[in-house]
Amino acid sequence: MSTMPASHGHSAACCNIPPIVSKGYQPKGSYEEVGGYKTYVTGPADATKAIVVIYDIFGYFDQTVQGADILAFGDDHQKYKVFMPDWFKGKPCPIEYYPPDTPEKQQALGKFFGEFPPPKIAGYVPEYVDALKAHSPAVSKLAMLGYCWGGKVVALTVKAPTNPFTAAASAHPAMVDAADAEGLTIPFALLASGDENPEDVKKFEENLKVPHHVETFADQIHGWMAARSDLTKERVKAEYERGYKTLLEFFGKHL
């Protein structure tokens, strides 16, 4: 079976590992319109802190929605509202593209990445945050979290002059670039999988001049905290939960 080489800055793992269709999770939140975007909203209504989650290219998978609920309700000492907007407007990357083992699938996947480049989405975020604040006026502090493709969106958003976030994190980010760490002014966490290039992760950490947490979950695949997580496997489930605990601890310190 052929595989797709790294493309559009994504790692080979990102381009070839298919998502896992998880069934049976009952979301704790609801879907609402915020700033013109369908948004998964979860968490206590009176929370004064919020986390904006940028999903991976597969959109609203159960594992990703469950992760949002963990962030919203997993810390006994902090209350968070979590917002996960649908940047793809109901058209995420079809799981049928994975694995991209034919030229047709590779072409389709490349077209998808071309339609949703991270800089484009990052440019929408500040206006979305304005809408979020209008939706939930009690929110005074914000953090941002991105998975895979969304990790690049986070990196670009929080280093821009328009950054509205107090803390940020990425989990198994695609396109890890040490240059994105330069000039960051807010605390940043990076949770890498065993599929990210260790040298890229190391250089990224070396360039961080802000409070940070960088950790590699070496026996986990790219996507283990989002759509590619097979939570039927005990070790994956344990590291999925540990990843979210790590993020909650980080946000608890810096948000």
Query: What CATH number has the domain bearing residue 241?
Result: 3.40.50.1820
Residue 17 located in a structural domain: no
User: Distance between CA 255 and CA 30 in Å, rounded?
Assistant: 24
User: Distance between CA 214 and CA 190 in Å, rounded?
Assistant: 5
Residue 19 pLDDT class (50, 70, 90 cuts) = low
Percent of the chain with pLDDT over 70: 91
Percent of the chain with pLDDT over 90: 82
Domain that holds residue 48: 26-86+118-254
Residue 95 pLDDT class (50, 70, 90 cuts) = confident
Residue 223 located in a structural domain: yes
Radius of gyration of the chain (CA): 17
End-to-end alpha carbon distance in the chain: 46
User: Distance between CA 215 and CA 213 in Å, rounded?
Assistant: 7
Indicate if the pLDDT at residue 5 is higher than 60.
Answer: no
Residue 237 located in a structural domain: yes
Indicate if the pLDDT at residue 3 is higher than 90.
Answer: no
Residue 220 located in a structural domain: yes
Residue 19 located in a structural domain: no
Q: Which residue type does 49 have?
A: K
Indicate if the pLDDT at residue 92 is higher than 60.
Answer: yes
Residue 22 pLDDT class (50, 70, 90 cuts) = low
pTM: 0.91
3-state DSSP helix/strand/coil percent for the chain, to nearest 5? 40, 20, 45
Mean pLDDT for 2-7 is: 43
Indicate if the pLDDT at residue 4 is higher than 80.
Answer: no
pLDDT score recorded for residue 99? 85
Between strands 188-193 and 212-217, the pairing is parallel
Best CA proximity match to 129, nearest among 93, 89, 158: 158
Indicate if the pLDDT at residue 168 is higher than 90.
Answer: yes
Indicate if the pLDDT at residue 52 is higher than 60.
Answer: yes
Mean pLDDT for 37-56 is: 97
The count of structural domains within the chain is 1
- The 3-state DSSP class for residue 164 equals coil
Indicate if the pLDDT at residue 203 is higher than 60.
Answer: yes
The side-by-side arrangement of strands in the sheet containing 49-54 is: 30-34, 37-42, 80-85, 49-54, 141-147, 167-171, 188-193, 212-217
- The 3-state DSSP class for residue 128 equals helix
95 touches 21 (CB < 8 A): yes
Best CA proximity match to 189, nearest among 175, 177, 174, 172: 172
47 touches 34 (CB < 8 A): no
User: Distance between CA 7 and CA 9 in Å, rounded?
Assistant: 5
Q: What is the dihedral of CA 118, 247, 220, 210, to 10 degrees?
A: 60
233 touches 178 (CB < 8 A): no
Identify whether 99 is preceded by a cis peptide bond (ω within 30 of 0): yes
Residue 221 located in a structural domain: yes
Residue 15 located in a structural domain: no
> How does the average pLDDT of the chain come out, rounded?
91
Strand partners, 219: none
Q: Residue 210: count other Cβ atoms within 10 Å of its Cβ.
A: 14
Residue 61 located in a structural domain: yes
